[in-house]
Structure 1
Amino acid sequence: MPAARRDLPSLDIGPFLAGTAGRGAFLDALRRACHGPGFFYLTGHGIPAAQTGAVLEVSRRFFRLPAAAKLEIENIHSPHFRGYTRLGHEITRGSADLREQIDISDERPARTLGPDDPLYLRLDGPNQWPRQVPELRAAVLAHMTRLGELSRSLVRAFAESLGLPAGHFDRSFAHEPRSHVKLIRYLAPADKHPAEYDQGVGSHKDGGFVTFVLQDDVRSLAADGPRPASPGLQVADGAGGWLDAAPRPGTFVVNIGEMFELATRGYYRATVHRVVSPPPGHERLSVAYFFGPRLSATLEPVPLPAELAREIDDPSPPDPDNPIFAQHGENTLKSWLRSHPEVARRHYADVDPPKGHQ
């Protein structure tokens, strides 16, 4: 069990991307961060503030549309779990999250499946885009493209940080890697929830490979209201408490997912985290980008050097409520079916719930 943490590390990927003298120091810091908290701030990534600001701005414009306009692209219409989710309609660990969001994935045609094709291929398909904010599509797709390039570089850094060739994971990520974005608006509890209910997102681990979170600061729903101090994204500190991952300009918060934890036999850690709702009359925006291998990929155990393998803790017993699959498509479909039960009932009534195995 790792010791309690006091703060999240900040890593500058610039020297790695440029191939300069600080490259080795970055890889060492990356290994310590992923073996320790499993979360870190990333700087030096080269993604301009104009781009991240544009994504947050079009998100804010969409979320401030009338409800009827947002529901035109409600995810219930999509068998691919794309589109708008209204406040309280995504579930984490059996409880409603106090957020509304748009889910957007790679733009690919829907597949026509044969009787022997894996069911997770249903996840491929088109996105739903809002008519009233046409700029949202270009801004989000540009953001996904830049983060996809950054993610490929970071995956190669992950390999080197583990003492492996830089291209160790290329076979899983070179062809049709899986990208997904959530544009998220966190709000205070609605009338149907008690005032003390503050589950922006419930405690969980991300199920995939690696996540990048772009955070906006808390702001008043009025045009220029005050911005009170308020916890948002929080990371378990290893001793029963929580660390605030407060917004820092020019950074992404990066964290490891359960599939990567499984592939490293727990050497790299997927850490429990949550989001606390903002106070009444305020909102918080974030953009979460998830990067993983192609849906058909199976992540095999990483051949760790002996000195790293000796640092692996005894494995925790499997969680019967959250089976983790090494096969990416299975793991991804499991997560969607659990978190969006209304979409599952409409489009996946023929699919059995996932069994409790790893």
Structure 2
Amino acid sequence: MKAMDDLDNINNMPEGLDPLVWEHFCMTRRVKVENEQKVKQKAAGLMEMVAFLRRRVEEDEQVQQDIDKAFRELVLLQEEKVKFQLNLTIQILLKQGQVELENFQLLMEYSDAILINKNIIEDLNSVIRTQGQKKIASMMESKDVHKGIFQIEWDHKKMEMEMEDLNQKAWDIQMLFFSRERQKYLTEPNYDTMIAIQIGIMEQTIAVLDKTHKKNVENCKKLLKKLGRFSNQKDIANYTLSCNLREELVAVSERKDICNALGTTLTCEKIAKERYENMMQQQKLINISKKQAEQISILQAEVERLRMKTFPALVPM
């Protein structure tokens, strides 16, 4: 309220305002501020009361739950009390024995029950156990016997199937084609040694054939050189003959020209004789050329035959 006193000071009054109006304004403002303060206080009090009410409601609910729980426990206790008051069990001291019931049903009535000594029951149970063990042993023995029978039958079937398989393999082996090499491999005890001996013989044969081939090649080369020289000689001789023939022809033509120039007339006999001589000489030259060509072809065929003869031929052992 000190702040309100400061605001209500006359110094804060606007100029030209009536003091009565200022006092009325200040009073009204003070009343308004006081009312606002009261409203805030009442609101704070209301909040506190609401919070207090909420706490009380929660406490009331908790107490109500505790009451319900206690009431349920009380009801359960009463039910147990009534239950324990009825169907009471009384212990009776009797001689030690054993109770056996039919169908294993627990009955509370013992009107037709018989009290038997425990030793008798134990002896009877031991006899029953012994008989049961014997029965189980006989059943296990029977089971083992049946199992052995099944095992023997299975082994028998297995052996039959293996026998069929072996028979089929034997038949396939009998029907299989064997060459001589395979037969030798199967029948010969020292097949590797025999093959090694054959390889050695073949290597020696190849070495001999190689030497022979080289020797024949050398001979053929010498023969070819000789034939080459002979062919060159024949070519030279043919060339010489052709040159001589050309010279003779030139000489004949010159003589003919000379005769024509001299004006001598040759008789028909002389002309025929000269023509005959020329034809005979030409025929001789042709025959010589043919003979030389035949000799050359024969020599070439011989060279080819010798060359083919010197090739190695591997004969199968």
Q: What range describes the TM-score normalised by the shorter chain of this pair? A: under 0.3
Structure richer in strand, relative to its length: 1
| Larger RCO of the pair (alpha carbons < 8 Å, separation 6+) | 1
Structure richer in helix, relative to its length: 2
Normalization by structure 2: what TM-score?
Answer: 0.12
Normalization by structure 1: what TM-score?
Answer: 0.11
